[in-house]
Amino acid sequence: FAGYISQVLKNYSDHACDGEYVSLRCPHRTTISIQSSFYGRIVPSHQLCPSRYPHSYATLIKEDVACSVGTSLQKMLDECQDRRSCQFLVNSRLFGTDPCPGTGKYLLVWYKCRPNEYKSKVACEDDKLRLSCKKSMVIAIYSAIFGRTQGGSLECPYQNPGMPMIECQSATALQLMIKRCHGKRSCSIYASTYEFGDPCYPGIQKHLNVIYTCDNSPVLLPVDETRAPALSSSSSSSMEPVGVGTEMALLSNLLAAYAFITENPERAALYFVSGVCIGLVLTLLALVLRVSCRTD
């Protein structure tokens, strides 16, 4: 479960050269959320995606290292947004007009895996934000923004209509929310510059927007604490009661089996049906042998 949450919180990136396939994929119960995209070339070919043309031909054409296509983000949104996986062939025709013919280009894409079911809460500046989950469930922070977005917020309108529409965000909001709330049943925090710092110019009204989900994992840990501390063999042998190792191994196997079933429901159903069929065949054979022995 901790691995599942760390996959959800992770920022993914992928790239593909012209003529290659780009493949994006998210874990079970999540979908792709495109963050940014670039198609073109801004570095020489010897650093990324070398030219497929012969060297003699490539030297005749001056490589354009200031080439970009403005439709790459919209194309990635059309192809992959809100899907669990997507794959397509990268070429200039896919993105419309080629701004630099003769120059080999590449696609860079950054994305996250968004939970299918999530909650969103907003708190205006100096108000308290409270997050809570039901019993036996804990908070998993997906994203957090403290500042002011370009579109603003309906819950926290501008106090001064004459202020310009400026976007400013704290760079540490997500890390702070993970530290305060991740893995807890409930938490609260003030949407204040004392907690998050002031990323905006003075006088700009800010707000805190948090997107989270509730997970029923009993062992949910923050991303930077998923690795257990190392223990020496002497201390573990002296402190661990007899039989605990077997119980922990059984619990670990049960959790692994449950995670496999939730991530691969079709395969698990196939294994179950196959097992039932094999059991029925063996039972039928046993009955036939018993009847034939009685007859003899």
Lowest pLDDT segment from 21-35, 119-133, 259-273: 259-273
Looking at domain 119-215, its CATH class is mainly beta
> pLDDT tens across 25-71, in order?
887 778 888 888 999 888 888 888 887 655 544 444 567 788 888 88
**pLDDT above 70 as % of the chain:** 70
Sequence ranges of the chain with CATH classification 2.60.120.740: 1-115, 119-215
Which contacts of 253-259 are long-range, i.e. CB under 8 A and separated by 24 or more positions? 255/1, 255/219, 259/1, 259/4
Report pLDDT for 130: 92
Residue 243 has pLDDT above 50, yes or no: no
Rounded average pLDDT over 73-80: 90
pTM: 0.47
pLDDT, tens only, 170-210: 888 888 888 888 888 899 999 988 889 888 877 788 889 88
The distance of Cα 236 from the centroid of its chain, to the nearest Å, equals 35
**What is the pLDDT at residue 260?**
56
Identify residue 2 by its one-letter amino acid code.
A
- Tokens 């496999």 found at: 260
The pLDDT value recorded for residue 288 is 87
Q: What's the confidence (pLDDT) of residue 239?
A: 35
DSSP 3-state of 14 = strand
Which tokens is 257 given? 């089996």
> What fold characterizes domain 1-115?
Jelly Rolls (2.60.120)
Contacts of 218 (CB under 8 A, 6+ apart): 1, 136
DSSP label at residue 127: P
| Per-position DSSP letters for 154-176, written without gaps between them | SSS--SSTTS----EE-TTHHHH
> Is 212 or 222 the better-scoring residue by pLDDT?
212
Residue 70: count other Cβ atoms within 10 Å of its Cβ.
12
Residue 210 near residue 177 (C-beta atoms within 8 A)? yes
Contact between residue 109 and residue 32 where contact means Cβ atoms under 8 Å apart: no
Buried b (16+ CB within 10 A) or exposed e, 250-277: eeeeeeeeeeeeeeeeeeeeeeeeeeee
